[in-house]
Amino acid sequence: MTSIDVREFMSLGRIIDRVERHERRVTLQSPPSRAVVSAVRRTFGPQGVSVDVEDGADRPSALVRDGGDVVTAVPLGDDAASFEAATEALTDALSTLDRTTFVSYDLSGMFATTREIEDRAWRVGSGRLRAGFQRVGALAEQAAVYAQLSTALDVHAYAVPDGSPPDMGETVVHLEPAPEIERSWFVVYDGDGRAAHKCALVAEERGPRRFSGFLTYAPSLVDEVDDYIAATY
């Protein structure tokens, strides 16, 4: 994935759009059966990989795309041995790409991924965690969790000023009357400067309690999002 210079962007939404254009995708060309298509979607869909179908190819194959670029092409068969070989080759190709996946979650998915990042930060036990939950009421629901996190981490929480902020321990609460704070949900952990621990979830509410955005473990992208939030708010 092309490195994103945060200075090019004026909003989290634009960063999300840029990442979306570099979505990881598997294209099945003239797949041998619907069962193969379903199996590929079951295998790679939960990993944040989009799977689509194109007809008219000379022979069945699976293409791995990063944005618009074809990374690799894999022969695609209908028998178990061929499918296993194709799955292994696709997995290897996808693992070489940037550690960023585009996601579309409901509330339960957002909370599950948020907890994963919070747990990682807590296990490391140091560093900075930034979290935006849109509104003060949502911060109140997370107050106990973030009060605990703030005993070990430098924690910053963001929301629009639609109420009185809760007691969140040592958490620094930023009340920002900004439209993107109201529509965005983000959790960004800087890994205390260690690349292996950096991660971020950034998403926008694009339907009633439906969020689209990205989950990333790419250090450069985590840094850029963190820098953008720090510089803007």
Q: Where are the domains of the chain?
A: 23-97, 101-232
Mean pLDDT of 162-189: 96
- Identify the CA nearest to 153 among candidates 117, 113, 102: 117
CB 209 within 8 A of CB 107: yes
pLDDT above 80 (res 90): yes
Output the CATH code of domain 101-232. 3.30.870.10
Confidence at 178, pLDDT banded by 50, 70, 90 = very high
CB 156 within 8 A of CB 172: yes
Quick one: pLDDT at residue 7?
Answer: 45
Q: Do domains 23-97 and 101-232 have the same CATH topology?
A: no
Domain 23-97 class in CATH: alpha beta
Quick one: pLDDT at residue 46?
Answer: 73
Least confident of 29-43, 60-74, 174-188, 201-215: 60-74
Helix (H) or strand (E) holding 7: none
Quickly count: other Cβ atoms within 10 Å of residue 2's Cβ: 10
Quick one: pLDDT at residue 91?
Answer: 84
Confidence at 153, pLDDT banded by 50, 70, 90 = very high
Chain position carrying tokens 């069945």? 60
Distances from the Cα of 205 to the Cα of 64, 75, 175, 185, angstroms: 29, 38, 19, 8
Mean pLDDT of 193-215: 94
pLDDT above 90 (res 173): yes
Residues 6+ apart with CB under 8 A from 180: 11, 12, 13
Mean pLDDT of 134-152: 96
DSSP characters over 21-79: HT-EEEEEES-S-HHHHHHHHHHHGGGT-EEEEE---SS-EEEEEETTEEEEEEE--SS
Confidence at 2, pLDDT banded by 50, 70, 90 = very low
pLDDT above 90 (res 69): no
Q: What is the pLDDT of residues 21-58, one digit of tens each?
A: 776 789 999 999 999 999 999 888 877 788 999 998 88
Q: What is the pLDDT of residues 91-135, one digit of tens each?
A: 877 766 667 777 889 999 999 999 999 999 999 999 999 999 999
How far is it, in rounded angstroms, from Cα 230 to Cα 153?
A: 16
